[in-house]
């Protein structure tokens, strides 16, 4: 089924403004990077600049496949979703490119950045291991949502 086919069940596309508000309220998603075989998928905490970019802090070890693949990938995808209930959920898919933030931009960005949620393990590791800041430049975006009521309650909403 297509997104259009699911409209009769209550699924709706999200506007650009709704997508921006959703991204500003979220802090975790899944980064997809192409490889020669299967895509590399990684859950990541992020900060959205409110306009056209997400920022990720990579905690690096001696060998980081994520860093290697990021540095060679021409395109990437990032999925952010929220599923509060089976009847209330949102999903945003972003397409773009990922690159390391130049040293000259770091201090200004770090002043503005607010990563609201991050696993404690990575928070601790980032204090002892090398890190790099990466920017995901959004070139295309789409979002869908379903904010309906459970079956049986929808018919009651019009009578009250």
Nearest residue to 99 (alpha-carbon basis) of 137, 125, 146, 141: 137
Look up the pTM and report it: 0.83
Eight-class DSSP state of 118: -
What the block records as the tokens of 27 is 């802090």
For 9, 119, 120, the CA distances from 47, given in Å and listed in that order, are 33, 14, 17
Query: Which residues share a beta bridge with 137?
Result: 53, 97
For the chain, the domains span 3-157
Answer yes or no: is pLDDT of 16 > 90: yes
Please answer whether residues 46 and 29 qualify as being in contact, where contact means their C-beta atoms are separated by less than 8 angstroms: yes
Q: Which fold does the domain 3-157 belong to in CATH?
A: Pnp Oxidase; Chain A (2.30.110)
Closest CA to 106 of 57, 70, 154: 57
pLDDT at 127: 52
Residue ranges of E strands in the chain: 11-13, 28-33, 40-45, 47-48, 53-59, 76-85, 88-100, 131-147
Model confidence over 134-153: pLDDT tens digits?
A: 999 999 999 999 987 755 65
Q: Is the pLDDT of residue 22 over 90?
A: yes
DSSP for residue 87: T
Of the listed ranges 20-24, 44-48, 122-126, the least confidently predicted one is 122-126
């Amino acid at each position: 089924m297509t997104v259009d086919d699911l409209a009769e069940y209550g699924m709706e596309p999200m506007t650009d403004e709704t997508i921006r508000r959703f991204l500003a309220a979220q802090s975790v998603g899944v980064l997809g990077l192409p490889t020669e075989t299967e895509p590399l998928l990684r859950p990541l905490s992020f900060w959205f600049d409110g306009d056209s970019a997400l920022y990720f802090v990579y905690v690096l070890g001696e060998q980081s496949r994520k860093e290697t693949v990021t540095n060679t990938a021409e395109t990437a995808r990032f999925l952010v979703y929220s599923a509060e209930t089976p009847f209330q959920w949102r999903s945003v898919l972003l397409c773009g490119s990922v690159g390391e933030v130049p040293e000259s931009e770091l201090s200004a960005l770090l002043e503005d950045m607010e990563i609201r949620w991050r696993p404690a393990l990575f928070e601790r590791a980032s204090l002892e291991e090398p890190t790099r800041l990466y920017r995901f430049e959004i070139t295309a975006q789409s979002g869908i949502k379903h904010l309906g009521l459970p079956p049986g309650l929808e018919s009651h909403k019009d009578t009250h």
